[in-house]
Structure 1
Amino acid sequence: MKLLSHSIIMNHSGFAQPIGFCNGPSMWGIVFDFPSSSTLKDKLFDVTFTWSQRMMVAVRLAESLQYLHELEPSFTIRTVDKSQIIIDEDFNPRLITFGKRSNEDFFKKPNPLYLTRYGYIAPDIGWTGSWSTKCDVFSYGIILLELMSMSPVIDHSLGDKRYIMRRVPPRSQNGKLESAFVHEKLQHTDSYHEEDGVAVTELALLCAAWEKEDRPDMVDIVASLKSLEVIKDSPRLTP
């Protein structure tokens, strides 16, 4: 609770504001002041949740992660997934969970909650046991893929393609993506540019790279997103 009441959280619009907590013998919880009851999980398949609105969420979420990562010491989300992100009425994402210092040891301090985030947890956690900001980058990449494709991270009905990374369009012989991993309903809008779709797909795949050294920092992710036409075209999406 000390972290939750810290000025780094209370003074930032990217986090749901805590107003109390419960620490009983059989229950522990935190009470947040939610501007909306919708989570990203609730809105993921909503066809009225447009491409430009989704990119707004992508940019603002990336900025919040950048903010945490640039603190001294840095902080990580760790359990981030679409159910942990509240979307307010202006389509600003607010995080309702965040972790601790990024150098803590996973094996020394295991948490069953982390194990429920299958598909979002970076593979390097399994063989190093150490959290880092690049673990958040991996999770962010998966969320970005979900945002653009209107597709869940895991879909057991798809067999070999149940994991979202296996559903991304293949690359051609020259190494370029054959198409953007963007749902067709999102492409049929005035705010959508094919170049943006391909660029966001490439960015998401880079974030979700197997080797953490290949993943970009959040500052570079924010810069890439702000270079998209959909961002430059819309005053609401321009910081």
Structure 2
Amino acid sequence: MDQNRRLLIALIVASTALGLIILFWIYHTKRFHTSDVVKGMCKFNFSKSRKTLVSLMDYNILESATNKFQETEILGEGGFGRVYKAKLEDNLYVAVKKLTQNSIKEFETEVELLSQMQHLNIISLLGYCIHSETRLLVYELMHNGSLETQLHGPSRGSVLTWHRRIKIALDAARGIEYLHEQCHPPVIHRDLKSSNILLDSNFNAKLSDFGLAVLGGAQNKNNIKLSGTLGYVAPEYMLDGKLSDKSDVYAFGVVLLELLLGRRPVEKEAPTECQSIVTWAMPQLTDRSKLPNIVDPVIQNTMDLKHLYQVAAVAVLCVQPEPSYRPLITDVLHSLIPLLPTELGGTLRVTTQQLSPSDS
């Protein structure tokens, strides 16, 4: 009996220990998973056998949805192809990018990265299609187009109020912070510009076009072929090929100047010394008497001057020639949040009367 009792006790102890181990494992797994979801972290796994959550879509369906890629359905055109408006089943409207035949690498990069990203300020990739030599990408439709079109198109920024512009800047900064701080390894967008910042029906901004993006931990990042758009490319990358997360910060600074001044990053018709928005604006951005006079006329005299000076100061830091002098995107984010009303995602306390309906 003593032997049986000892055996029974041993079994109870072993079962209890095993149960505790299983409970600990379940708790640890759930805690890890929940932490990742809350923080929005993405961990890249480039195994070719990896299953993607992005759908492989039928070419004939997409061709029909775009009316055989009619010019009347074109939403925009970039360096890697045209984007068309498409209508799928159940009246679901999406955007379909038809890439040029020499953009296979960009297509693969975009599918690899966006299929593993999930963030409010990153465009959602819904599907892709490979049909012979044709490559198609299917995105959520952003009803207000690009920031470039809103600022420099026919409306000339007329619907972009001061608070709406700060909201767009804040959204873009949140998207960049996700790439730099919450993706592992970090992602350098490398083609951040106003045409790659898309706006939904409520003017929430999302980063798009990841075809040129690279992983920040890549050993050969300083030897990557120079790519980007004139006016947004950081000087150290253009002159020496040195690429870092501070390259994105520089481009963000240029976008911030566009929002403030309503000017394009490069004015081709301007005198040579005034072509670059950075070169033209820098001497005036730090002069408090001149700054209010160069602000986009659409938003002149509509903001607290202290807030204007603060945004200008952030822009000046972002476009510093020396990358080590530029702030981290997280610091930029923390500088902009207090300037936006709580109703729009910031921390600025304003009364209902102070907040214009057009700002929401």
Residue in 2 that maps onto 1:223: 334
Does residue 141 of structure 1 match 2:253?
yes
Whole-angstrom CA distance in 1 between matches of 2:322 and 2:282: 21
Deviations 1:93-126 (A, max 9, x none): 1111231212444674426xx24x0010111113
Residue in 2 that maps onto 1:194: 305
Amino acid at match of 1:60: D
Residue in 2 that maps onto 1:36: 143
Amino acid at match of 1:223: H
Superposed displacement of residue 219, structure 1: 0.7
Superposed displacement of residue 176, structure 1: 4.8
Instruction: For 1:7-46, list aligned pairs within 5 A.
Output: 9=117, 11-24=118-131, 26-44=133-151, 45-46=156-157
Give the TM-score taking structure 1 as reference length: 0.85
Write 1 or 2 for the structure with the bigger share of strand. 2
Does residue 69 of structure 1 match 2:183?
no
Instruction: For 1:1-239, list aligned pairs within 5 A.
Output: 1-6=111-116, 9=117, 11-24=118-131, 26-44=133-151, 45-70=156-181, 71-98=183-210, 99-104=213-218, 105=220, 108-110=223-225, 114-115=227-228, 117-159=229-271, 160-168=273-281, 170=283, 176-180=287-291, 181-189=294-302, 192-228=303-339, 231=340, 233-238=341-346
Residue in 1 that maps onto 2:57: none
SS of 1:86 mapped into structure 2: strand
SS of 2:230 mapped into structure 1: coil
Superposed displacement of residue 12, structure 1: 1.0
Q: Which has the higher contact order (CA 8 A, sep 6+)?
A: 1
Superposed displacement of residue 234, structure 1: 4.9
Contact 2:170 2:333 (C-alpha < 8 Å) held by counterparts: yes
Whole-angstrom CA distance in 2 between matches of 1:107 and 1:56: 33
Root mean square deviation of aligned Cα: 2.2
Of structures 1 and 2, the larger Rg is shown by 2
Residues 211-220 or 19-28, more deviating: 19-28
Whole-angstrom CA distance in 1 between matches of 2:280 and 2:223: 35
Whole-angstrom CA distance in 1 between matches of 2:128 and 2:233: 27
5+ residue gaps in structure 1? Answer: none
Whole-angstrom CA distance in 1 between matches of 2:142 and 2:192: 19
Whole-angstrom CA distance in 1 between matches of 2:120 and 2:342: 20
Percent sequence identity over matched residues? 25
Contact 1:86 1:94 (C-alpha < 8 Å) held by counterparts: yes
Amino acid at match of 1:129: G
Amino acid at match of 2:323: K
Whole-angstrom CA distance in 2 between matches of 1:183 and 1:127: 31
Contact 1:119 1:154 (C-alpha < 8 Å) held by counterparts: yes
SS of 1:22 mapped into structure 2: strand
